[in-house]
């Protein structure tokens, strides 16, 4: 449990929260006093995350939510409001990411549509359902988890396009929601050590060498940034994209290493 209780009395809904960044964010916000609805398509894993939070004396419930289905999203939002009395923070973390085909022309419509639907349209569905309640809370905030893929080329056409779309949606929704008292921001992580990288320790080591800060991210790094943007500490911040990427986008480490090696040759 963290010492600061910035979210005492808050009701929070997090999508894709059974593991990884979503689970770390649930732990962080609950540890700061929030009642957290841990939602995921994998209810069994979501319940494990919620149970671990409760064991620490904090408040969390698990609920099934498929961001690809409007009725599922609306049910999750309604449950959060009924269970916690309000919905103050929405964290859009669920996504879809399918490996690219070897050639762009071999990509299927189904793959493209699925990744965009889960990553971008899913966030839209959640924001649409949550917004009236966030307005009513008087302190509402939406934080979406984007990616450096939405800002620069790191592969994954559909996933990257969806994450770029989230950056734009963050700006336009921030403009719409600001007069209603709701802030909308986005965190753009670099490489983060999650279950998506299980069994790929060598790849993570190679990736770490490209980060100016010398390591890949941990889920807790992203959770801390989400907590900041969701809190009143960020009360005058909306429509922004916060890169949490170990300096990846700011410094071309690979280029600098190549130049240094050539100079030493």
- Give catalytic residue positions: 159
* Structure-token match 């890169």, residue found: 243
**What single-letter DSSP state applies at residue 100?**
P
SS3 199: coil
Are 47 and 239 in contact, with CB atoms under 8 Å apart?
A: no
Token pair for 111 = 């793959």
Please compute Rg for the chain using Cα positions.
19
**Measured between alpha carbons, how far apart are the two ends of the chain, in Å?**
51
Angle between helices 122-137 and 157-177 (to 10 degrees): 20
141-145, strands of its sheet edge to edge: 59-64, 35-40, 11-14, 89-92, 141-145, 183-189, 241-244
Please tell me the distance from the alpha carbon of residue 187 to that of residue 163, in angstroms, as a whole number.
11
Half-sphere exposure of 216 (CA within 13 A, CB side): 18
């Amino acid at each position: 449990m963290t010492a600061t209780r910035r979210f005492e009395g808050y009701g929070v809904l997090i999508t894709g929260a059974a593991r990884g960044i979503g689970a770390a964010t649930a732990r962080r916000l609950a540890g700061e006093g929030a009642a957290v609805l841990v939602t995921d398509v994998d209810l069994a894993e979501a319940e494990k995350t919620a149970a671990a939070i409760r064991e620490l004396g904090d408040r969390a419930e698990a609920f099934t939510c498929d961001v690809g289905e409007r009725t599922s999203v609306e049910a999750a939002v309604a449950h959060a409001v009924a269970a916690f009395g309000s919905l103050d923070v929405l964290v859009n973390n669920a996504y879809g990411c399918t490996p690219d085909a070897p050639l762009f022309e071999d990509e299927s419509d189904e793959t493209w549509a699925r990744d965009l639907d889960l990553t971008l349209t899913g966030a839209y569905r959640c924001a649409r359902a949550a917004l009236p309640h966030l307005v009513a809370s008087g302190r509402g905030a939406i934080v979406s988890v984007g990616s450096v893929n939405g800002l620069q080329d790191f592969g994954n056409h559909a996933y990257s396009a969806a994450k770029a779309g989230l950056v734009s949606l963050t700006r336009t929704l921030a403009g719409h929601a600001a007069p209603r008292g709701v802030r909308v921001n986005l965190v753009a992580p670099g490489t983060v050590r999650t279950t998506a990288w299980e069994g790929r320790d060598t790849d993570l080591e190679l990736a770490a060498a490209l980060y100016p800060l010398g390591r890949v991210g941990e889920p807790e790094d992203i959770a801390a940034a989400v907590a900041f943007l969701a809190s009143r500490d960020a009360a005058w911040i909306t429509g922004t994209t916060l890169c949490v990427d170990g300096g990846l986008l700011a410094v071309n480490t690979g280029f600098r290493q190549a130049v240094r090696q050539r100079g030493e040759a």
